[in-house]
Structure 1
């Protein structure tokens, strides 16, 4: 039984808070020796398994536990003290988002990547800094690179300015996501253009001619690729497509949804580009008295642990996060080994999950 005073998961990132809770449980003697399996431990702490794996990866990196393939994890009686050289990061994950941004909340690929880096014996560092989101982050990037001369940079949710700087700078770097058109860096992402094309086809097949596309306020390269694929399919069809720009402020977003659906040409289907917006839309539409999918169909471009267990079962696309993380690490290892990689994108095709929120008109 876990102590009643286990830390609440509220302020910093969930993996950081989960790691703090695990440290406290180990320190207080509630966890010792062989750790329970993932399912049991995640239930005890009330967190998802991806979050637990990322938290355990942090503890292994600190030397508090040791994880052996096929044999689970064990608490170290005497923590392993690593030399400064061992603690030096081999991979630096850098993003222009703040650590509390909705996109990063239990980001499935990021959590899997953290766990796999540790299991591969690769130390890592994370830099989440919203100041890098501006049009000229170059001085800050130079300073960061100067302080970390021997790392592979993994760009997450990166801007065109960031990608351009790494592309021109000759540093070992790759994009976890899609590249902007002018960028020449190796990259790996879901095939969002193909996903947009497929989603448009599903909507046409179900008879929808009034469609809403819900976009983030600052679309990433993958978001733009998705929109391009979607619009390319719709180009020669009699379909009205309207766009709704989401907002991270819940009250503002709810107000925009309300106006969107009170218009005389309200959409019969919504295609939503972020999991958090998908959940918010479902809740708001139900509050407004709309039936899903009878009055409004919903397709979520991505999934999330919360969506995977949600009711109704959302029509959505899903990708194997372990494959994305594994191939990212292979690229990073090649770059760390001095190998020059071609700036050719690697695309993983998402899997369509029909769910129950796409109806026929």
Structure 2
């Protein structure tokens, strides 16, 4: 939304896991909060297969109004989305921005560069270390539900 997108879709697998449900709820909340600014968002599910992802994308692309940004859960799925959109003639990021909710080392080698969110492994390891140390020392753990806030890594930007 901060980059001017008004139509955003979130693509994730039908069989949702841990953070997927929270991500979906957060997406819905964000879109609801931005509705006054004429932001629309939709959630599109796929079955986790290559064909399923491509079919879900094709349905999305055939819609009357295409999204200008696509958030994708899981890095492997994001790579499939990226390459399928390019195969269909969708220019990234000019026609549609692709943003991966998750990070993976191979995403550094995708062209055009994909925006994504990344959690610092060092910061995460420190959090876990402190919690484990407290358990071993039989000290109370203050946090019961630790949330890790990822950093945004910008991808290629359209400049023309």
Q: Which bin holds the TM-score, normalised by the shorter protein?
A: 0.7 to 0.9
Return the offset for 1:245. 0.9
Return the offset for 1:313. 1.1
Corresponding residue for 1:298? 98
State which of 249, 253, 272 in structure 1 corresponds to 2:72. 272
Q: Distance in 2 between matches of 1:287 and 1:232?
A: 32
Return the offset for 1:343. 4.6
Q: How far does the alpha carbon of each residue in 1:9-64 deviate from its partner, in whole angstroms, 9 at most, with x for none?
A: xxxxxxxxxxxxxxxxxxxxxxxxxxxxxxxxxxxxxxxxxxxxxxxxxxxxxxxx
Contact 2:31/2:40 (8 A) holds in 1: no
Corresponding residue for 2:7? 210
State which of 20, 23, 30 in structure 2 corresponds to 1:233. 30
Superposition TM-score, scaled by structure 2 size: 0.83
Query: After TM superposition, what 4+ stretches of structure 1 lie above 6 angstroms from structure 2?
Result: none
Contact 2:11/2:44 (8 A) holds in 1: yes
Contact 2:6/2:40 (8 A) holds in 1: yes
Return the offset for 1:286. 0.6
Q: Distance in 1 between matches of 2:17 and 2:52?
A: 21
State which of 115, 135, 138 in structure 2 corresponds to 1:315. 115
Corresponding residue for 1:220? 17
Q: Distance in 1 between matches of 2:135 and 2:155?
A: 40
Indicate whether 1:348 and 2:148 are aligned: yes
Indicate whether 1:287 and 2:84 are aligned: no
Contact 1:211/1:270 (8 A) holds in 2: yes
Corresponding residue for 1:123? none
* SS across alignment from 1:356: coil
Q: Distance in 2 between matches of 1:351 and 1:291?
A: 25
Number of aligned positions between the proteins = 156
What 5-or-longer segments of structure 1 have no aligned partner? 1-202
What 5-or-longer segments of structure 2 have no aligned partner? none
Indicate whether 1:243 and 2:46 are aligned: no
Q: Distance in 1 between matches of 2:125 and 2:46?
A: 28
Return the offset for 1:250. 0.9
Contact 1:246/1:253 (8 A) holds in 2: yes
Q: Distance in 2 between matches of 1:349 and 1:259?
A: 32
Contact 1:216/1:247 (8 A) holds in 2: yes
Aligned pairs (5 A) from 1:1-361? 203=1, 205-235=2-32, 236-237=35-36, 238-356=38-156
Return the offset for 1:266. 2.0
Contact 1:216/1:245 (8 A) holds in 2: yes
Q: How far does the alpha carbon of each residue in 1:67-102 deviate from its partner, in whole angstroms, 9 at most, with x for none?
A: xxxxxxxxxxxxxxxxxxxxxxxxxxxxxxxxxxxx
Q: Distance in 2 between matches of 1:233 and 1:253?
A: 24
Quote the RMSD (CA, aligned, Å).
Answer: 2.2
* SS across alignment from 1:290: coil
